[in-house]
Structure 1
Amino acid sequence: MALLVSLTVRIADIVWVLLLLLPAACLQAGNTAGSNRESTFGVILPARLSGVQGGSIEIPFSFYFRWVLAKDPQMRILWRWKDFHGEYIYNSSSDFIHEHFKDRLILNWTQPQTSGVLRILDLKEKDQTVYFCRVHLKMTNRMEHFQSINGTQLTVTPAVSTTMQSPSIVTTAVTTAGLEDTEGQKNPSLVNIGAMVGVVVATAVLITPVYVMMIFLL
């Protein structure tokens, strides 16, 4: 009898513990559901990209959602840099471009596409930072906006200089230039030899008739 009473008490304790744990389990299920709702929309960006100073880079982006869009969704694509709440550098609705990127940003995207590319031209050293894509769109009864969390880390490497010539090429160029400079000039020794030959020939022309006359008289 005592054993039966003890067993009954233990069962009651177990049931009481389960009842206490039930609200916590329900709460945890609610958080999971909320997390699933949050994962029904988002922006996808590459984690890292690299480019060469003076060149260009393309940052691909895409976004997804499960809401019902309005007939005119009024989609807008915006970009921030440096941090999650950083300055806006681009706004597709107003064609706004940050002064630092003037004439250097091109957005390849049109509504209602859910993917596109942001191209940065003439990369500069200060362009090396993190970039965040933000999406605005209109639902049937409200506006929604969401943004990439981690963004894209852009690394800009210095360009390799190609203006310097190798020593062998420079030496060859100098030698060739020297030959070309002296090519049009007359050699002094050759001039002297030519003058001497002219004198000899002239003397021979003058003396030959005299010798001929003397031979004729003899």
Structure 2
Amino acid sequence: MGLPLLLLLLPASLQADHWAQHCAYSYFGMTQPRQLSAPEGGSVRIPFSFSYPCNSGKISDVKISWRWKHFHGDFIYNTTPKFIHKNFKDRLVLNWKEGTKNGSLQISNLRREDKGFYFCRVEMITERCHKQKWQSINGTNLTITHEDPSRTRRSNTRTLGITCNNQTPSW
């Protein structure tokens, strides 16, 4: 009695596995720079872009979040529900518009303790593959540089020297 029931269920389970495999092997990608550096007290934008199969069908409920320090690290930012980690309060801005596949996370008033890895994560519902989640594997390693206050700031004015045929123009 158990064998016929198993045979009846087998085609349905194979079909479900085929569907899951198709979505599992589809390309859901994330791109971030491997390394960025910014001065303490300054700000930085960590750019990201993501991709998903063009045959995913209608896309809805896209959520962007960021993790800090390691792949399974603390969440520091979520679009929905809106969340900003207490260490980054009033210092994070997500520059991303719904319907686009790229943006950046801006961190202002950088502190030494902000150094480390940042991982962008995307969640969405696709018509064909249903709920999908993926994030950068390597993340972006942010280093915070220390600006020496004893150095004097230089003016942004530059002298431009142009030569033509090894001669200095006479204007």
Which of 96, 101, 114 is equivalent to 1:127?
114
What is the deviation of 1:162? 5.1
2:46 match: 59
| Cα RMSD, aligned residues only | 2.3
Q: Tell me, in whole angstroms, the C-alpha distance in 1 between the residues paired with 2:150 and 2:90.
A: 26
Give 5+ residue unaligned stretches, structure 1.
Answer: 1-33, 165-218
Provide the identity percentage: 43
The within-5 A match list for 1:130-145 is 130-140=117-127, 142-145=130-133
SS at match of 2:113: helix
2:134 match: 146
The residue type equivalent to 2:72 in the other structure is H
1:196 match: none
What is the deviation of 1:112? 1.1
Q: Between the two structures, name the one with larger relative contact order (CA 8 Å, sep ≥ 6).
A: 2
Shift >2 Å, 4+ stretches: none
SS at match of 1:93: coil
The within-5 A match list for 1:9-158 is 38=25, 40-66=27-53, 67-70=55-58, 73-140=60-127, 142-158=130-146
The structure carrying a bigger strand percent of its residues is: 2
The within-5 A match list for 1:158-173 is 158-161=146-149
Aligned residue pairs: how many?
130
What is the deviation of 1:95? 2.0
**Which deviates more from structure 2 when the two are superposed, residues 132-141 or residues 143-152?**
132-141
Cα gap change, 1:51 to 1:117, in 2 (>3 Å): same
The residue type equivalent to 1:149 in the other structure is I
Cα gap change, 1:101 to 1:69, in 2 (>3 Å): farther
SS at match of 2:147: coil
SS at match of 1:136: strand
SS at match of 1:107: strand
The residue type equivalent to 1:81 in the other structure is W
Give 5+ residue unaligned stretches, structure 2.
Answer: 1-20, 153-171
The structure carrying a bigger helix percent of its residues is: 1
The residue type equivalent to 1:56 in the other structure is S
Do the aligned partners of 1:105 and 1:118 also contact (CA within 8 Å) in 2?
yes
